[in-house]
Amino acid sequence: MNYRRFSVVFALVFAWWHLGATPTSFYVNYDAQVPVAPLRLHPLSIVHPEAEVDLSAAHAEGNRVLAYLSVGEIAADASYRPEALERGLRLRGKNEIWDSDLIDLSDERWVDLLVDEFARAAVGRGFDGFFLDTLDSVESDGRAGAVALVRRLRQLQPQAMIVANRGFDLLPDLQDVVDGVLVESVFGTFDFNDRRYRPVAANDTAVLVERLHALKSEGYEVFVLDYADPTDEPTARNIASRIGAEGWHALVATPDLRGTVLAPWRDVGRRVFSFYGNLSADPTDRVQWPAESFTGLRLQAALEWLGYEVDYGKVEAGRALPQLGVETVAIILPRAWEYPESEESRVLDWLVAQRESGRRILIFGAVPFQDEAVRRRFFEVFGIGGSGRMIWPVRNLREVVSDPAIMAGAEYQSRGRPIQIPDLQAPRDSHVMRSVVASTPTGEEVRLDALFATGWGGVALDPYLTFQRPDFQELWQFDLFAYLEAVLGRLPGPVPDATTREGRRMLMSHIDGDGFINRSEVEVGHSSAQVVRDHILTQYPIPITVSVVEAEVTGAVKGSSPEAARQFERTARSIFALPNVQVASHSYSHPFMWIANDRNAGLYDRPNLELNVPYPNMDLEREIAGSVDYINRTLAPPDKPVEVFLWSGNCRPPPTALRQVRELGLLAMNGGDTVISRRTPTLNGVAPRTMPWHDELQVFAPAQNENVYTNNWRGPFFGTFIHVIDTFERTESPRRLKPVDIYYHFYSGDYFASLRALETVHDWAMAQPLHAMKVSDYIRIAQDARAVRVYSNAEDSWALVGDGALRSYRVPAAWAPRIDLTASSGITGWSVQGAEAFVHTTGRRVTQLVLAPAEDEPSTRARLESSTGGIEFTDRRARRLHFAVRDLRPVTVVLAGWPSDIELEVEVDDTRSRMRSGVDGRVTLSLPAVAEVRVEAAPAP
């Protein structure tokens, strides 16, 4: 063994990530954009040095990222290729498979270019070393040049980790500078000639295994990259297990090397792709954004609860259809979706490819092919019977199949009999949930399987999809949750949950600034802002995010004056100085529309508040950055600047507005029409958590405000807004869909009735066991819930990778007794509530949840069951917990997992006491708002 080499490798391994201790996974992605989650998960990643990549995300977890460097070949699209050709650097042939040119390393200028320019730039970006590809393409006359190149890389970055792709013939000359060897296709490979995945021949595997063990004994770290069909999970896992059993670091991927991770960690796909758009010439009916689509309005909220996040795209002539990654598991073809008929054949070909990749396809409303030939081909390829044509009129219609598991939870039981239905029958072996038959005008029988799940997805067709009431509310004619679960299933792993913190439903509150300057009838001579301050903000000790409209506070709205502004500003300062108030902006002039020519522009008489100063056109910078700057300079305490921007009007900000807020370092919220109640008894009254707008993301408010409940502030003012309590209850049961959000305007202080309604809502919230938090915390949680990637490396083990803002995951209650707190990392406990268990985490960016075998005894390790306030653990052992709580109210903490009826020592700050656990192993602590707490099993007498 080369002891110098061994000492260098030992130092690197010990300081970095203990590679040699146990086999680990690694990650390879040569795409132009590299996601953050895999960098956080894998101890070692290999990416292109010019990619858009956040190296700090890997470094924060103690992981390392190597820059890909092709030593023996130059790709056709390499950024330095034009310069190499201009300098006349020598080439010696072509690799036809990869469309690259072979480098002649006997030309020393290649070494200068690759090291002094390409590699040096990677070091400057913060890469931790190099992965040297195509070493096997180096011929004998280039050997000296290759060795010189690698040695110069070590000189360039002495602490770098250098991994070679094979290069077996060169390794004897590089033992003191190369740290690891990567080999592809040891057990599983991809045959580029036959375009198929296959096992490696046993003899070839045996030769490679012997060679790799020899390299391992010489002190090299060994990395094996094998390939498997992404639809064949058992094979991928088996290959990874074989690699790990040999003591090597493993990755099973696809040969495009665009970041697909199949094993040992496997991405538990959470993404659903939905098409949207139509061809309407009427601007009020045009679907231009996902927020206007059937999926966004009707399906996304249910999909989020099941654990899925929705991405959106349009079909446009001449533009490529999306390339979907392994994280996307399903595709939605929504109701009323329209696209150019000329694109139908291309769309069908794409759908066939998606089905072959294992993605499910969900169709809502109608089959989206107008061209007769394309529709026939679709029916044939997907095994659907019938012509698909609409049959009219039909008679003697009767229901022949109605699955009670899907139909019992319908919001509306259809009574009418449609006079036309499409001729369509489910593929063989489908699960038909609703089917009707009828007679045609010629006496023939026609059947419509209106609702079914099949091997490739599911179909839910009109006229049995929703029912529209006279007030235009749409009700589902089947149980949407049950249907989606039958077609997609719940996420096969922990579901990121943005409703719960430490086992308690979350509570927040925020105020839009409208009506700040109104005169209140509650207290003569006081503004509505003063009334809300005195009756709400100072009376309820919960975090409240408060915004103002700059033009109101500065007296710039019509009917006000700069003289009056002095009092308004004093009131605003007094509000922002309150300890439970978070500072926010609600814009400069309160735009009612943020998008030019918005589809619902006709709902408003003017674009914004009427001002008494010149302001001819709405200016995004003035509305956002300008109002924030005014509040920070004039109203907010020096140590409490604006943190949140609350959208005004119809709350439909374009991507440019969302980007401006993000680039200011602020968070934003509002929009979404969650109004489910006795008046709106439908899941369609529950908005999604978030909504993408191109590359930006809007976070919706969890519930709507009093303006909506009071018929656009026309009244009545008490008996209407209190219906938000009904909304809170319906979004808690039978499923917890939303946190509680008390959302209102300052004009709720205008009248005795509206103020009483506000107090009633607050009193209800104070009586519930809720976990209060700032709106900014919820926004981060909502963003993180969408971004979290879930990986599995065994049937009962998952890695949960996100930003750490989201600290709650939902699993079936049956899993709870099997949660292994010792094998897991970053898990503080769980709370079982009905059929669900909410698992609490410490807020780590990478958390691991492991379930013990079902036959094992349940864990008796002490854990957190719930807390009504913020809690941070500093010590977690089997019989000892040390933590701090911080809140605005006294905190109730429930601990569980203790042995039954044992004596516990409890220390709260400097006060010690003893108490006993219950027969169920629980103990409840009533704590001050801020406290340090230690609980441990008392020593035996």
> pLDDT digits over 448-467, tens only?
999 999 999 999 999 999 99
DSSP for residue 774: -
- What's the whole-model pTM score? 0.95
Amino acid at 878: A
Beta strands in 897-939 (DSSP E): 903-908, 911-916, 923-927, 930-937
Q: How many other CB atoms sit within 10 Å of the CB of residue 300?
A: 27
SS3 368: coil
Question: Is pLDDT at 771 greater than 90 in this prediction?
Answer: yes
What is the residue-averaged pLDDT of the chain? Answer: 94
Mean pLDDT throughout 753-775? 98
Residue 796 pLDDT grade (very low, low, confident, very high; cuts 50, 70, 90) = very high
Which of 502, 354, 489, 494 is closest to 789 using CA atoms? Answer: 494
The two counts, helices (H) then strands (E), for the chain are 25, 51
Tell me phi and psi for residue 817, to 5 degrees: -65, -15
Residue 140 pLDDT grade (very low, low, confident, very high; cuts 50, 70, 90) = confident
Predicted pLDDT at 3: 35
Domains and CATH numbers, the chain: 3-73+122-266 (3.20.20.70), 271-487 (3.40.50), 531-767 (3.20.20), 781-937 (no CATH)
Q: What is the DSSP secondary-structure string of 230-241?
A: TT-HHHHHHHHH
pLDDT in tens, 224-278: 999 999 999 999 999 999 999 999 999 999 999 999 999 999 999 999 999 999 9
Residue 142 pLDDT grade (very low, low, confident, very high; cuts 50, 70, 90) = confident
In the sheet that holds 266-267, the strands lie side by side as 266-267, 789-794, 797-801, 846-850
Percent of the chain with pLDDT over 90: 86
Which of 104, 106, 109, 107 is closest to 94 using CA atoms? Answer: 104
d(CA 923, CA 879): 13
Question: Is pLDDT at 12 greater than 60 in this prediction?
Answer: no
* Alpha helix segments (H runs only) across 650-736: 655-663, 706-709, 723-730
Omega within 30 of 0 (cis) for the link into 734: yes
Amino acid at 41: L
Question: Is pLDDT at 421 greater than 70 in this prediction?
Answer: yes
Whether 374 and 345 have beta carbons less than 8 Å apart is answered as yes
Mean pLDDT throughout 918-923? 97
pLDDT in tens, 639-677: 999 999 999 999 999 999 999 999 999 999 999 999 999
Predicted pLDDT at 93: 79
- Would strands 891-896 and 923-927 be described as parallel, antiparallel, or unpaired? antiparallel
pLDDT in tens, 859-890: 789 999 999 999 999 999 999 999 999 999 99
CA distances from 671 to 296, 341, 606, 619, 700 (A): 13, 34, 19, 20, 5
Beta strands in 16-86 (DSSP E): 26-29, 44-47, 64-70, 73-75
Question: Is pLDDT at 313 greater than 70 in this prediction?
Answer: yes
Over the Cα atoms of the chain, what is R_g? 31
d(CA 138, CA 79): 21
Which of 286, 468, 276, 264 is closest to 364 using CA atoms? Answer: 276
Mean pLDDT throughout 388-398? 94
Percent of the chain with pLDDT over 70: 97
Whether 465 and 401 have beta carbons less than 8 Å apart is answered as no
